[in-house]
């Protein structure tokens, strides 16, 4: 490709906020939902007759094809490109409220299907005509145990904003206004936090403390927020009949609750691996002990600069060696303007890939022309390839894959790129690159499970006591962080206030999916390295979307997550990387 586009082309969605097509699309969505409601609200024949249920599901699938996300995504993407885009924010909030009311009009449909008599459930699940909807129906029947009456479901939907999202956004907005002084200049705490890992020990610890002292100033607000949203979840769970605070999340992500708790327990029992890594890191950094600020400290930089064009060429070559279609997807996205590469003032931090049924898959990056940016590019393209293949190979109802499978694809491609580049680095760069790779594994697996354990105790404690103080929450967080960090660390009370900034704990319990996907990805990649023909199985997984449970999708390609000690394989591979780091460090 001679010329690549490095900015999003949002004209793929709409030309502007005043584009008349937005109004047309919204009106089309409204009419379709109203028509569906009128057609089925008083009907019950599809609850007993296979042919009628098949037609009803076809009609429901046509609603999904409308892609109600398109106008929402347009304004969401604009806001991520420019946080000060008030026009985008106003339109986004307006559309969320407006479209939620229309989505509520068809709530009755899935609720009624969920209440189909057991004898008919069995008949429909064994019926040939409904075969393609089999897993979709299985999920509905399973979730229906926790469904409320239609009016109650509408109330739950409508109260989500004032009982959760407005609390969370209030804390986030307050945090975004906080600044600290660094080298004589006022910078945001977000920018400060991004700088911490690249500073020397004295500056790193001092800046981290400044950030924590600043966010501690809003601890009363955050304390109220956490208690409010956790108690609101308790009310929702009790209304639905969920026994444990994590049950709804695990069921929603299509995993088995016992298996996930066993998985978290296995990782927790292997915290000695992360402890070992940090003991080695302490040695590399030449520190007597480590503070929380040192957790992500860099041990050096890979000096080689990798421009975005070079990164693209590296990815294209590696993707093509695995499967030509992966390289074609990358080319097509760059050609059409579906990747926004470089940072700019007002642009959202970090990186992500975003996709919906009939809208272009979009990738946001903040390229800094280094090795880490290359890895991030590979990671997000893994998500993008997963989405593109799912949309291509699955009916609309199955194009969205479970979050618990999402990280498997992204980390697989990241690993492939890392291995291809690693041997080309000099010894000093190898130490840095390998350290950063292990650090990523530690963060994604051990840190996230430590957070999962923290969340369980947090929710159970608030449910039992009614509320916790910010001091109690901070102390609890420190306890769980210390378990995975190990004896190399000395944490102080101030470190616990990091809970105020940790957005993950506002998206209850989903963090286990990072660890789950990462470990499976490592095992998947090991099998691919031993036999390149396994690449066909990987493509089968990437094309499966949400057509089965994650465990069944993996089982179809020969990866049995239910097998005893399965997850230990991935954990052992991290130990091997630590052995390798010790070896290259001592060389």
Count of domains observed in the chain: 2
Q: Does residue 347 lie in a domain region?
A: no
- Determine the pLDDT at residue 173: 84
CA distances to 186, 208, 293 from 182, in Å: 6, 11, 16
Give the separation between CA 151 and CA 141, rounded to whole angstroms: 20
Domain containing residue 213: 179-217
Give the separation between CA 106 and CA 37, rounded to whole angstroms: 6
- Determine the pLDDT at residue 336: 96
- Residue 28: give its domain's CATH number: 1.20.140.70
Residue among 441, 481, 463 at smallest CA distance from 578: 441
- Determine the pLDDT at residue 1: 57
Q: Does residue 436 lie in a domain region?
A: no
- The answer to whether residues 195 and 130 belong to one domain is no
pTM for this prediction: 0.86
- The answer to whether residues 21 and 141 belong to one domain is yes
Percent of the chain with pLDDT over 90: 79
The predicted-structure confidence for 324-334, as pLDDT tens digits, reads as follows 999 999 999 99
Residue among 410, 314, 423, 427 at smallest CA distance from 370: 314
Q: Tell me the pLDDT band of 150, cut-offs 50, 70 and 90.
A: confident
Is it the case that residue 212 has pLDDT exceeding 90? yes
Q: What is the DSSP string of 155-211?
A: HHHHHHIIIIIHHHHHHHHHHHT-EEEETTEEEEHHHHHHHHTTS-HHHHHHHHHHH
Please, which residues bridge with residue 354 across strands?
362
Decide: 464 and 218 in contact? Cβ < 8 Å: no
Indicate the average pLDDT of the chain: 93
Reduced to 3 states (helix: H, G, I; strand: E, B; else coil), residue 558 is: coil
Q: Does residue 17 lie in a domain region?
A: yes
State which of 94-108, 230-244, 565-579 shows the largest mean pLDDT: 230-244
Half-sphere exposure of 98 (CA within 13 A, CB side): 15
Is it the case that residue 337 has pLDDT exceeding 70? yes
Q: Does residue 82 lie in a domain region?
A: yes
- The answer to whether residues 139 and 206 belong to one domain is no
Q: Does residue 252 lie in a domain region?
A: no
- The answer to whether residues 124 and 65 belong to one domain is yes
How many C-beta atoms lie closer than 10 Å to residue 104's C-beta? 18
> Which among 147, 162, 195 is the end of a domain?
147
- The answer to whether residues 142 and 205 belong to one domain is no
- The answer to whether residues 200 and 91 belong to one domain is no
> Which among 164, 189, 217 is the end of a domain?
217
What is the mean pLDDT of the segment spanning 481-489? 98
- Determine the pLDDT at residue 490: 97
Give the separation between CA 300 and CA 508, rounded to whole angstroms: 35
Token pair 């950063």 is found at 436
Give the separation between CA 553 and CA 547, rounded to whole angstroms: 8
- The answer to whether residues 30 and 86 belong to one domain is yes
- The answer to whether residues 44 and 126 belong to one domain is yes
Please, which residues bridge with residue 358 across strands?
none
The predicted-structure confidence for 195-205, as pLDDT tens digits, reads as follows 898 899 999 99
Percent of the chain with pLDDT over 70: 99
- Determine the pLDDT at residue 430: 87
Q: Does residue 197 lie in a domain region?
A: yes
Residue among 295, 285, 248, 253 at smallest CA distance from 447: 295
Q: Tell me the pLDDT band of 241, cut-offs 50, 70 and 90.
A: very high
Residue among 514, 518, 524 at smallest CA distance from 560: 524
- The answer to whether residues 139 and 188 belong to one domain is no
Range from 204-208, 347-351, 412-416 carrying the lowest mean pLDDT: 347-351
- The answer to whether residues 109 and 20 belong to one domain is yes
- The answer to whether residues 184 and 133 belong to one domain is no
Residue 364 belongs to what H/E stretch?
strand 359-364
Residue among 478, 501, 480 at smallest CA distance from 490: 478
- Determine the pLDDT at residue 394: 96
- The answer to whether residues 105 and 44 belong to one domain is yes
The predicted-structure confidence for 360-400, as pLDDT tens digits, reads as follows 999 999 998 888 899 999 999 999 999 999 999 999 999 99
Q: Does residue 139 lie in a domain region?
A: yes
Q: Does residue 34 lie in a domain region?
A: yes
**Separation of CA 195 from chain center:** 23
> Which among 96, 123, 147 is the end of a domain?
147
């Amino acid at each position: 490709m001679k010329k690549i586009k490095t900015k999003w082309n949002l004209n793929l969605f709409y030309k502007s906020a005043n584009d008349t097509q937005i109004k047309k699309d919204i009106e089309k969505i409204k009419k379709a939902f109203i028509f569906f409601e009128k057609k089925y609200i008083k009907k019950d024949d599809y609850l007993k007759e296979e042919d009628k249920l098949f037609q009803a599901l076809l009609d429901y699938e046509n609603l999904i094809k409308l892609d109600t996300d398109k106008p929402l995504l347009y304004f969401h993407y604009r806001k991520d490109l420019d946080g000060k885009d008030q026009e985008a924010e106003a339109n986004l909030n307006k559309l969320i409220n407006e479209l939620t009311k229309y989505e509520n009009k068809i709530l009755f449909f899935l609720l009624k299907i969920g209440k189909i008599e057991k004898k008919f459930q069995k008949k429909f699940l064994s019926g040939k005509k409904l075969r393609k909807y089999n897993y979709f129906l299985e999920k509905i029947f399973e979730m229906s145990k926790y469904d409320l009456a239609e009016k109650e479901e509408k109330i739950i939907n409508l109260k989500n904003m004032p009982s959760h999202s407005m609390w969370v956004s209030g804390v986030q907005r307050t945090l975004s206004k906080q600044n600290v002084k660094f080298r004589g200049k006022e910078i945001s705490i977000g920018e400060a936090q991004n700088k911490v890992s690249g500073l020397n020990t004295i500056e790193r610890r001092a800046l981290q403390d400044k950030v924590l002292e600043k966010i501690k100033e809003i601890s009363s607000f955050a304390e109220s927020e956490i208690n409010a949203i956790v108690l609101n979840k308790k009310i929702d769970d009790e209304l639905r009949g969920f026994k444990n605070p994590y049950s709804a999340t695990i069921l929603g992500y299509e995993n088995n609750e016992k298996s996930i708790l066993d998985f978290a327990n296995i990782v927790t029992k292997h915290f000695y691996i992360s402890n070992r890594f940090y003991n080695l890191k302490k040695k590399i950094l030449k520190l007597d002990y480590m503070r929380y600020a040192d957790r992500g400290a860099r041990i050096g930089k890979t000096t080689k600069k990798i421009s975005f064009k070079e990164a693209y060429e590296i990815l294209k070559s590696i993707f093509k060696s695995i499967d030509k279609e992966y390289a074609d997807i990358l080319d097509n996205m760059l050609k059409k303007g579906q990747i926004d590469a470089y940072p700019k003032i007002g642009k959202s931090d970090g990186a992500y890939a975003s996709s919906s049924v009939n809208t272009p898959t979009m990738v946001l990056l903040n390229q800094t022309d280094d090795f880490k940016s290359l890895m991030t590019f590979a990671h997000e393209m893994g998500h993008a390839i997963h989405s593109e293949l799912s949309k291509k190979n699955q009916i609309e109802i199955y194009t969205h894959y479970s979050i618990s499978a999402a990280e498997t694809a992204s980390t697989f491609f990241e690993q492939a790129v890392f291995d291809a580049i690693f041997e080309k680095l000099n010894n000093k760069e190898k130490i840095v690159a390998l350290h950063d790779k292990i650090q990523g594994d530690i963060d994604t697996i051990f840190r996230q499970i430590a957070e999962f354990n923290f969340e369980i105790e947090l929710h159970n404690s608030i449910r039992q006591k009614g509320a916790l103080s910010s001091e109690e929450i901070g102390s609890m967080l420190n306890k769980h962080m210390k378990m995975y960090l190990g004896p190399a660390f000395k944490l102080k009370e101030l470190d616990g206030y990091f809970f105020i900034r940790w957005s993950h704990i506002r998206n209850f319990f989903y963090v286990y999916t990072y660890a789950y996907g990462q470990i499976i990805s490592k095992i998947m990649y090991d099998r691919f390295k031993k036999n390149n023909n396994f690449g066909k199985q990987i493509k089968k997984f990437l094309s499966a979307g949400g057509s089965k449970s994650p465990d069944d999708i993996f089982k179809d390609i020969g990866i049995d997550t239910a097998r005893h000690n399965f997850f230990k394989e991935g954990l052992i591979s991290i130990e091997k990387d630590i052995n390798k780091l010790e070896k290259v460090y001592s060389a």
